[in-house]
Amino acid sequence: MARRPALPGQRAAQIAALKKHLRTLLIGLAIGVVSGVMVMVLGSFEEGFVARTELLLLDVRYRTRPHIPVHPDVALINYDDASLALFGGWPWPRHRQVALVTVLDLYDARAAGYDVFFSERNDIIVMDERLRQFVRSDEVAKGRPAPERVSRVLRTAIRDYDREFERAIAKSGNIYLGYFVQEPDKTVAVGGLPAIQKYVEEDKKSPTYPHEALESLAPHTIAATPDLEKHIFKMSRVVPPLSFHTRAARSAGFAQIVKDLDHTVRLYPMFMYYDGKIHPSIGCVMVASVTGVPLDRWVIKPGEYVELPDAKVPGETNPVTIRIPVNENGQMLMNWAAKFDDVFLHVSFRLISEYYAYHTAKGLARNYPADPAAFGAIYADIVSSIDEEQMVTEEESRRIAGEIALAHIATPMLKAGATHADILSRLKLPDGVAAPEQVLQAVDIALQKSGGAAFDAAWQAEIERNVSWFVAKNRLNEVEPLFFPPARTALWQGKQTAFSPLDLENKIFMIGLTGVGTIDLNPMPFESVSPMVGMHSNALNTMLAHTFLKFPKDSWRYPLDMVFAIVTAVVGALTSPFIGFLVVTLIVAGYSYAVWWAFAAHGQWIQWLEPVMAISLTYIGVVVYHFIQARREKGKVRAIFAAMVSPDVLKYMEEHPESFSLTGVRKAGTTFFSSVERFGKVTAGVAPDELGGILSYYLTPTSEIIMDYQGYIDKYEGHVIMADFGVPIDDPGHAWKCCYAAIEQQQDILPFQFFVKARYGVDVFVAMGINSGYVSAGNMGSEKKMQYTVMGDAVNMSARFRPANNIYDTRIIAGEPTLPFAGDCLELRLLDKLLAKGKTKPATIYEIQGWNPKSYLELKKDAPVPPSLLSRWSKCPAEKIFGYHRFWQQKEKDFAHPLIPKIREFFESQLAVAEEMIKVEGRSEVRKYCTELYGVRDEAAIVLGKKVDGMAAPGKPWDVILDKWISTASEIHRALEESRQLAGQSPEIYKAYVSSFSRAATLTNKLETLKARLAFHAETESVMERFIVDMHESIEKTAEAGESAPAPDGTELETKRAAYRSAVQGIYDSLAAKPAEYHEMMSQVGSVTESQKKAREIFVEGVNLHWERKWDESIEKFRAVLDIMPADGPSKSYIERVHGYKTDPPGDKWQGEFVQKKK
């Protein structure tokens, strides 16, 4: 049927519609192109929102893909909590490494790499008790002992653990050492390779530069080609292992992370450049050895791959070429297998140490004849040796000694046909030998005899397996006597499974710290905190299991963005919003699956976010265009759309998405706590409405000082301040800034103490606790209410140190972790080993006495005079002016700087004004109280129907008058309380009742406090005596005037304060004009005197004598300190403590610690 021709009007409409669609399509294409370009620009920022989000989405792919292949030989040896609980905190003596290497060698481990560093020597240990035992032994008394016996005693009594470790490494031939490399700081790195090399050449001139150790490392490096020199990360320093350890080791490589894509560890650095050489990572040198491809045969093409030709991978039959994709810096994209505990074999060092104890026991037993009479000597020798090296617990050492001694003596007897009963009857076994019948059964099985029907089948299988293994290797004599303990358990692929030492065979181990408080934690795709020894084991697995991940291809990246943007533009322009949404959703879903599949099946990382952003922005742009078009037609859409989205919120979310989470960031920082001690006595005597004003005189200047040193005021809790340094912005000077802020606060607190004493009659002081370390910093709380704060053990310890000042009558206590960051900048006094409340290990604490003058000048030389100084001086209460005068008067006696007398003279010139201000404030206070009393009386009369009598007391002494005022206010309060039922008569009466009842109670408290303040005391300052006399007169005059007494007028006081502020501005301006001279003066003011230094030396001697239990000698030292500084609180505290120890000495396990009873 022929189509009917369109009418002219229809044709025009069709043409108009076609033009509209074409215009919409062209605008859609333009939006697509613009969106694509926008996404490409956003994606070009390496640390921008797009890049960070893409990395988070990459982590999702890690976690949601199927499990990847795991090479069965890759394993870890963990210095875990169980090991640290037995052997103590890290670092350990090197003989523990001898134990580890010996066991790995005994059971033919293929390779073992250390993710801990051995760059410093251990001390040589002399076990003088063993020497004394030998000298007192019968063999020495009877004549000259055998030379081999003397040699053995000397070997076991004089221990050079470093050399023993060297020999163990050399014998095993399978040990790889890790070492530390240091990246150049920004000021050096910005100058490129020439600046870095210049830094290295200067470093070589240092007397501590490790020339020999680096020379021993040279065979394990490769020459730097121009291409490698251009691309590989440059290091400014290498801290190598000890030279003789390196020469003994199979190889060595650096073992640490470097610059990554973000804070999560995904990249594994294969190589580093230092001083013309390329240093390999420990993972590379281990792979080079186990595959038989030396590093000089590796083909390294930065930005493409690292290739190992003809690699003989363990477990694979034929040689293969390993090609590892790397970025332009030579970093491999790590294929993390799973969470740290959920992959690989994890062997606790605690277990290794037990196997070494058995090995040691067997070696000692073989030195003795298999004679029942020798049992006691064998047992004692084994226990002594194992206990000396603390291989296992005392209970375990006795069990092992009994088992091995019994097995050694019983073996020939069992071979000769002796029965178990016969053997046991000829031996006198100590209590430590548990289940001797089982031991004999185990030896029977090892001798290929029956162990008996009741013997544990799993243990029997373990014994037979061990015997077969050592027989096959023709090494059975190395493990005689033939006693093998039951299989233990180890963590394998996240589960505890049976473990035999034979399982160590052919394993490729990474060795590192995983115990709480020792581990180097960093985020990785599967968990937010993970021990970094796992990085190396996962790198080994990636290379040996060929589970490589490939970086995104730049040639795909931008075309994909543009193609998806244009396709979306066409779809959005030519379809309705609903159909367009469905199509776009299908495109996004399909692309998302393709990206996930490429990663899961082929290890190809494809950018997901940029194309999806291009799709989303284009689609949103097209939809917005449709809305704009509709608005032109309907005139309403703009207002609706604008009400849907807040541009400010969106912008903030894009720039700071992490701000909406409740996760913490691990940061190095220093935490500060302070509190006003004895402040409760002040609060008990003042009205609640006055507390804020009193606290502001303390909190304002101290907070300003904290902020002068870039501190972050974390929170106030009454008079307690918590401040953080180094967060939220990283600051390498966090420790010294915190300590200097504390010292400077104490300088302002001394005048504050005078103010409190003068006004409230209370001696207060401010206690401060400081500690450094890693903290978790971030928004803590709920999703609806958060606060940026810090948490962690370092924070808890600084909080404990604050109240510890009360033990020693000190002002500032810092923990030992602060010393590496700021020790050289400070004048410190060793204080104690404090076992803080709730802790199991004592912390060494120090008193911060002041700053080091030279360090202060170096750190503050370019700083201006702080503006907060003007604020502190100009806004202080009048009494504090007297405190400032006293402070500078004392400093003038201690130090000789020309600015000190100038400042002292200034405050001296203001004393008269300050005294007048105190008196004017006092008179105003009396008038205010009197006016308030009349006001309360009149307001209470509305409720009571009459005025309470007894107000006037003219002609009486001040104290009688004040007592009368107090009794009147109290009587009003009592009368109102008894007339509570009257309050409900009307809203007006109820309002008057509530107001007058509260006012009467508050006024009573204030008047009682005033009376206490106006009483003379023996220690009352002369200026305060004059103030008290003036207040007495003011009370009497006010009472005389009665209700006609003038209301308080602040004009006179404000005039005097203005004059004082003007004078302060003048002295501040003169100081601000000479910042260098000011800081030179402050370097002295904040330091310590020579007498303090002398007293400190004597004090430390006393502390050490007290730790040595030399009670009387330590008391003499502390008394000598008091001869120099009679008010020294720590010396007084120690004298009291030591007298107590003399009466009730501490136990045998006491190591000098003092237990903190209260937090």
Residue 519 contacts residue 513 (beta carbons within 8 Å): yes
Return the structure tokens found at 911.
């004393």
Cis peptide before 147 (omega within 30 of 0): no
Kindly list the distances between the CA atom of residue 357 and the CA atoms of 78, 350, 391, in Å, as whole numbers in the listed order. 18, 11, 6
Strand extents, DSSP E, 277-423: 277-280, 299-301, 305-311, 320-325, 331-333, 345-348
Q: Could you give the CA distance from residue 681 to residue 668 in angstroms, rounded to a whole number?
A: 38
Q: What is the pLDDT of residue 923?
A: 84
User: According to the model, what pLDDT value does residue 350 have?
Assistant: 95
Identity (one letter) of the amino acid at 426?
A: R
> What region, left, alpha or beta, does residue 661 occupy, with left being phi > 0 and alpha being psi -120 to 50 degrees?
beta
Which residues have C-beta within 8 Å of that of residue 976, sequence separation ≥ 6? 940, 943, 944, 993, 996, 997, 1000
Task: Work out the average pLDDT over 909-928.
Answer: 86
Going by pLDDT thresholds of 50, 70 and 90, the confidence category of residue 651 is very low
Average of per-residue pLDDT across 172-189? 93
The rounded distance, in Å, linking the Cα atoms of 900 and 1083 is 12
The bridge status of strand 765-781 relative to strand 812-815 is parallel
> CB-side exposure of 175: number of CA atoms within 13 Å?
28
Instruction: Kindly state the tokens that stand for 1046.
Output: 């003038």
1096 vs 279: CA distance, rounded Å: 47
The 10 Å CB-count burial string (b at 16+, else e) for 999-1020 is bbbbbbbbbbbbbebbeeeeee
With cut-offs at 50, 70 and 90, classify the pLDDT of residue 39.
confident
pLDDT of 10-29, one tens digit each? 454 456 556 655 666 677 67
Q: Domain 661-851: give its CATH code.
A: 3.30.70.1230
Between 394 and 555, name the one with better pLDDT.
Answer: 394
Strands 237-239 and 175-182 turn out to be: antiparallel
What is the pLDDT, as a whole number, of residue 656?
Answer: 43
Q: Of 1123, 35, 8, 1136, which Cα lies nearest the Cα of 563?
A: 35
Strand duo 271-274 + 277-280: pairing: antiparallel
Asked if the model's pLDDT at residue 999 lies above 90, the reply is no
- List pLDDT tens digits, range 274-283: 999 999 999 9
pLDDT tier at 639, thresholds 50, 70, 90: very low
Please, what is the Cα angle at 1112 between 1110 and 1118, to 5 degrees?
Answer: 100
Residue 714: what pLDDT?
A: 87
Kindly state the tokens that stand for 572. Answer: 């959005």
CB contact burial 310-337 (16+ within 10 A = b; e otherwise): ebebbeeeeeeebbbbbeebbbbbbbbb
Transcribe 1026-1094 into DSSP letters.
HHHHHHHHHHHHHHHHGGGSPPP--HHHHHHHHHHHHHHHHHHHHHHT-HHHHHHHHHHHTS--HHHHH
The larger pLDDT score, comparing residue 268 to residue 611, is at 268
DSSP β-bridge partners for residue 182: 237
Distance CA 90, CA 110 (A): 26
Return the pLDDT at 140. Answer: 62
Q: What is the mean pLDDT of the chain?
A: 86
The pLDDT tens digits of the residues spanning 842-853 come to 999 999 999 999
* Dihedrals phi, psi of 250, to nearest 5 degrees: -65, -40
Q: DSSP string of 550-570?
A: BPPPHHHHHHHHHHHHHHHHH
579-591 pLDDT, tens per residue?
Answer: 888 888 898 899 9
Report whether 570 contacts 29 (CB < 8 A).
yes
Residue carrying the six token digits 């078009």: 629
**109, pLDDT greater than 50:** yes
Residues 1147 and 825: their CA atoms lie apart, in Å, by: 38
Q: Which two tokens stand for residue 1132?
A: 């007084």
Provide CB contacts within 8 A for 463, sequence distance 6+.
Answer: 442, 445, 446, 451, 484
Q: Which of 781, 779, 776 has the alpha carbon at shortest distance from 656?
A: 779
- H/E element holding 243? helix 243-248
- The tokens for 944 are 């009571």
Whether the predicted pLDDT of 265 surpasses 90: yes
**Helix, strand or coil, per DSSP, at residue 3:** coil
- What backbone torsions phi and psi does residue 666 show, to the nearest 5 degrees? -80, 120
* Structure tokens that stand for 877 in this block: 């209460």
CB 770 within 8 A of CB 738: yes
Task: Tell me the one-letter amino acid at 634.
Answer: K
Among 53-62, 946-955, 996-1005, the range scoring the smallest mean pLDDT is 946-955
Instruction: Dump pLDDT digits (tens) for 142-158.
Output: 666 666 666 666 666 67
Reading the block at residue 1117, the tokens are 């030292």
Q: What pLDDT digit, counting tens, does each position of 1035-1070 carry?
A: 788 778 777 767 666 788 888 899 999 999 999 999
The pTM of the full predicted model, rounded to 2 decimals, is 0.55
Question: Hey, which of 290-299, 435-444, 587-596 has the most confident mean pLDDT?
Answer: 290-299
pLDDT of residue 11: 53
Give pLDDT, residue 594.
93
Residue type, 1156: Q
Q: How many CB atoms sit inside 10 A of residue 550's CB? A: 15
How many CA atoms, within 13 angstroms, populate the side-chain half-sphere of residue 1027?
Answer: 28
Confidence at 213, pLDDT banded by 50, 70, 90: very high
The structure tokens listed for 825 are 């900048």
- What pLDDT does 925 receive? 83
* H or E stretch at 499: strand 495-499
1086-1103 residue pLDDT tens = 999 999 999 999 999 999
Q: Which residue has the tokens 């020199």?
A: 229
Cβ-proximal residues to 1102 (8 Å cutoff; 6+ apart), any chain: 1114, 1115, 1116, 1117, 1118, 1120, 1121, 1131, 1134
pLDDT at 134: 60
Among 949, 872, 884, smallest CA distance to 914 is for: 884
Contact 645, 592 (CB under 8 A): no
Tell me what the mean pLDDT of segment 564-591 comes to: 82
Question: What mean pLDDT do residues 532-540 have?
Answer: 95
Mean pLDDT across 491-506 = 95
β-pair partners for 308: 322
Q: Is the pLDDT of residue 450 over 80?
A: no
Supply φ then ψ for residue 927, to 5 degrees: -65, -40
Question: Cβ(792)–Cβ(775) under 8 Å?
Answer: yes
Condensed to tens digits (0 to 9), the pLDDT of residues 826-842 reads: 999 999 999 887 778 89
543: its two tokens: 């290379």
Q: Which single residue is written with the structure tokens 């199509």?
A: 583
Query: Would the pLDDT of 524 be above 70?
Result: yes
**Residues β-bridged to residue 307:** 299, 323
Average pLDDT, integer, range 933-959: 77
